[in-house]
Amino acid sequence: MSSRISCEVCDGSPTVVRLVGDLDLTTMRSVHRVLDRCLTTQPDALVVDLTDVTVHDRLALSVFAAAARQAADWPAVPLVLCAPSPEAAAWLAESTTCRVVPVRRDCDEAARAAGAAAVPRLRARLEPAAEACRRARELVADACARWNLPEAVGPASVVLSELVGNVVRHAGTPMQVTLTLRRPWLHLAVVDGSRDAARPGTPDPQAEGGRGLMLVRELTQRWGSVPAGEGKVVWATLPVN
C-alpha cells in the first residue's frame, strides 16, 4: 500500500503546518514542497506539528533539517518541530543532521520558542509605479533607523531600488517588499506576480534603479530568485554590524 501524508497550513504568527499520515522517502518530497512554499511567504516563524505523523524511515526526517537550513539562510525564519512520537524524537536527537532543528513537546511550547527566535521585519506593498523606487529607499531608511544600522542605508537603498525597479520595468505587477534583520545580515526581498526569472542584465542608465541586477550581485553577499505562488521572490543579503 502506498504511503500518504497531508499538510494543513494555518497562517498566523507563527504559521503552523500540521502533518497527518506517513513520512517516508516518498512523502518527504511533498512535505518539502509545502515547507518551501511556506518559507517563500516569509512568515515570522514556522512550526511543524508532528502529532499525527508516523515516521517509517528515519532518513525522511532530513527534510526538516534541509528546510531549517534554507530558512536560516533565507528568509531568516525560525523553524521548530513539535510533538514527534517518542521514536521519532529519539531519531531526531541522534541525528547530527537534524540537531539543527529545535524540537518541543507540544504546539504551544513550539510557538513560544519560535516567537522568541523571530527577528525584526518591515513589510510594505508597492504598486508598479514610477515612485516605487523612491518608496523603497524610504523603507530602507526607516528600517535602518529603527534597527540602528546607519552604515547599511546606502548600499541597501541601492539594492532594494534595483530589485523594485526590475519589477516595475519587467514584471509590471504589484509587489510585496520585506526587510529582515538577522545579524550579521540584512535581508531584502521583493515578491512579484511574474514567474519570469530575474537575471543580471544590461544596465539602463536612463531609468531610475536601472543599473541592472549586476549591481545587486556586486553589492550583496548573496542573492537569488525562487518561485512564490503565481510569481517569484527575488532576495538579497547584505552584511551589517
Q: In order of start, what are the domains of the chain with their CATH numbers?
A: 5-117 (3.30.750.24), 121-239 (3.30.565.10)
Q: What is the pLDDT of residue 98?
A: 83
Rounded to whole angstroms, how far apart are CA atoms 235 and 223? Answer: 5
Per-residue pLDDT of the chain (241 residues; tens, 9 = 90+): 567 999 999 998 899 999 999 999 999 999 999 999 999 889 999 999 999 999 999 999 999 999 999 888 788 899 999 999 999 999 999 988 888 899 999 999 999 999 999 999 999 999 999 899 999 999 999 999 999 999 999 999 999 999 999 999 889 999 999 999 999 999 999 999 998 877 554 445 444 444 567 788 888 988 988 888 889 999 999 999 8
Rounded to whole angstroms, how far apart are CA atoms 238 and 71? Answer: 16
Concatenate the DSSP letters of all residues of 131-181 into one string.
THHHHHHHHHHHHHHHTT-GGGHHHHHHHHHHHHHHIIIII-S-EEEEEEE
Q: How many CB atoms lie within 10 A of CB 182?
A: 21
Under 8 Å between Cβ of 150 and 190: no
Q: What's the 3-state SS for 89-108?
A: HHHHHHCCCHHHCCEECCHH
Under 8 Å between Cβ of 38 and 17: yes
Q: What is the pLDDT of residue 212?
A: 64
Rounded to whole angstroms, how far apart are CA atoms 53 and 84? Answer: 7
Rounded to whole angstroms, how far apart are CA atoms 23 and 31? Answer: 9
Q: What is the pLDDT of residue 209?
A: 45
Q: What is the pLDDT of residue 74?
A: 80
Rounded to whole angstroms, how far apart are CA atoms 222 and 224? Answer: 7
Q: What is the pLDDT of residue 208?
A: 47
- Which helix or strand (DSSP H or E) is residue 115 part of? helix 107-117
Under 8 Å between Cβ of 172 and 212: no
